[in-house]
Amino acid sequence: MYTKQLNKGLLLENAKDRLQKDVNKIANASGFKVDIDTLTEIKAEVVKQKFYEVAPSGFMPVVVGEGAWSDELLTYKSGSVADPFESGLIATGSSNAARDSMSETAVEAVKVPVKYWKRAFTYNLVELNQASRSGNWSLVEAKEEARFKSWQLGIQKVAFLGLQGVGVGGLLTQADVTSNTSLITKKISEMNSSEFQALLAGLFGAYNVNSDSTAMPDTFVLPTDDYLGLVSSIDETYPLKSRLERLSEAGKLATMNPAFEIMPLAYAQADKNSEFLGSGSGLSRYILYRRSDRQSLRMDVPVDYTQTITDTVSGFDYSSVAYGGFTGCKAYRPKEMLYFDY
């Protein structure tokens, strides 16, 4: 009887060792190992890492596929250069010897550089077969997901912050856009009633002056940490509406645009943009602008994310390359955008 129990114990121990070895074989590139026993069940579900993700196309026009393989994209900006309207009046009976009044068009060329990106991943036959033994995890799929996520997050960062040192700007880093530092000097969610009323009275007027009365905004972007605080009421004694509701109403009334929208953006927080705005500490940056007009601003992706076939020369080592081309966000009419910083 003792011998049977001993043999049963050895069998269980051997099964545990074999199972542990199989799990260790499918360890990823980080080299993790997981201790298991006979009561451990390996779940089919894989918990994946999460990131802050926001679609650039929700904040700006994103043009895909135009100008593929160009070094730069050239856009012409035209403007009217004309004599005063009154100079075109005709005095009946007078001599026509004088020079006629003229209307001309001035043209400016705006060039935006296109940057190209590529990224490869590799694996070999041993890794592929070891991973396949797990039954619930694909090595190739995981590598491709990681690479595509790298592209997505990179384009996201470029769209909002740009890239330093290579002439690529983002929504928050336009060099030609004016920064107003006097109107918003603290979080809107922390303003008292009189400060909030002063903001409503001055916000859209400041934009009107900045744009020379040629346009009105359709979007107001706020740092996320401030946006989340706007659920509070202006006056808790009579909590009829939240600050967010009042700010949204004011925007729709001032712009006469029922589609006017207030949007949160984490990159607009000082702690998220410290490498790009301010002297290392960043800025809380608010933006009034026109996001629906591609002539006002846009981002181009001339070559969208493309993956090549997975190939091998030796039959043992495999590799795949993905590539794409993009520009930053460019304000073609910088007066139609206004920053508010503190």
* Eight-class DSSP state of 294: T
Confidence band, pLDDT 50/70/90 cuts, at residue 42: low
Lowest mean pLDDT among 29-38, 60-69, 224-233, 253-262: 29-38
Residue 219 and residue 247 in contact, taking contact as beta carbons nearer than 8 Å:
no
Name every residue whose Cβ is closer than 8 Å to that of residue 240 and which is 6 or more positions away in sequence: 233
* Eight-class DSSP state of 95: -
Helix, coil or strand: residue 148: helix
And the tokens for 166? 């290579």
Q: Which stretch of DSSP H or E encloses residue 193?
A: helix 193-210
And the tokens for 231? 């659920």
219 phi, psi to nearest 5 deg: -145, 140
- Report the pLDDT value the prediction gives residue 47, as an integer from 0 to 100: 76
Name every residue whose Cβ is closer than 8 Å to that of residue 252 and which is 6 or more positions away in sequence: 258, 260
Confidence band, pLDDT 50/70/90 cuts, at residue 86: confident
Reduce the secondary structure of 259-304 to three states and give it as a string.
Answer: CCEEEEEHHHCHHHCCCCCCCCCCCCEEEEECCCCCCCEEEEECEE
And the tokens for 282? 């960043």
C-alpha to C-alpha distance for 17 and 213, rounded to whole angstroms: 77
pLDDT in tens, 216-257: 999 999 999 999 999 998 876 667 899 999 999 999 999 999
Name every residue whose Cβ is closer than 8 Å to that of residue 95 and which is 6 or more positions away in sequence: none
All structural domains of the chain: 144-341 (3.30.2320.10)
